[in-house]
Amino acid sequence: MTVARLVAVIKRICGMPDYAAYVAHLAAEHPERTVPTEREFTAAYQKSRYEGGANRCC
């Protein structure tokens, strides 16, 4: 397992934003869209993660 892969796994488990994966997704599926900056992406990600419903248990 490469370091980059390990970092991606840890980020996914902890629910951290993964900008590299998002950029790859845009390039593959929506090449016409403009790529947001890492800060914009992170802000949008956090908004959808914490301002929705419950994402953890007691």
Partner 1 sequence: MTALLWTLIGGLGAAGWAMLAWHRGETVSAAWLVVAAVGSYLIAYRFYSRFLAHRVVGLDDTRTTPAHRLSNGRDFVPTSRWVLFGHHFAAIAGAGPLVGPVLAAQFGYLPGTIWVVVGVILGGAVQDFVILTGSMRRDGKSLGQMARDEIGPTTGVLAMVAILAIMVILLAVLTLIVVKALTDSPWGVFTIACTIPIALGMGLWMRWRPGQTLQATAVGVVLLLVAVVAGRWVSESATLAPVFTLSAVTLSWWLMGYGFLASVTPVWLLLCPRDYLSTFVKVGTIFTLAIGILVTMPAMHLPAFTRFVDGTGPVFAGALFPFCFITIACGAISGFHALVASGTTPKMLDRESDARIIGYGAMLMESFVAIMAICAASILDPGVYFAMNAPLALLGGSAATAAHAVQQWGFTLAPGQMDALARSVGETTLLARTGGAPTLAVGMAQILGGAFGRAGTAIWYHFAIMFEALFILTTIDAGTRVGRFMFQELAGHLWKPLGRTSWYPAMVLGSAAIVAAWGWFLIEGVTDPLGGINSLWPMFGISNQLLAAVALSVGTTLIIANGKARYAWTTLLPLAWLLLICSSASWQKIFSQDPHLGFLSHAAQTTAAVTAGTIAAARGSRLVFNDHLNAVLCGLFLVITWAVVLASAKVWLQRWRPDPAPDSAAALAA
**21 HSE (CA, 13 A, CB side):** 12
Residues in contact with partner 1, counted by CB under 8 A, come to a total of: 37
Report, in Å, the least distance between residue 8 CB and partner 1: 8
Report the C-alpha gap between 43 and 10 in whole angstroms. 20
Q: What residues numbered 14-53 form the site for partner 1, per CB under 8 A?
A: 14-17, 19, 21-22, 24-26, 29, 38-39, 41-53
Binding residues (CB under 8 A) for partner 1: these are: 7, 9-17, 19, 21-22, 24-26, 29, 38-39, 41-58
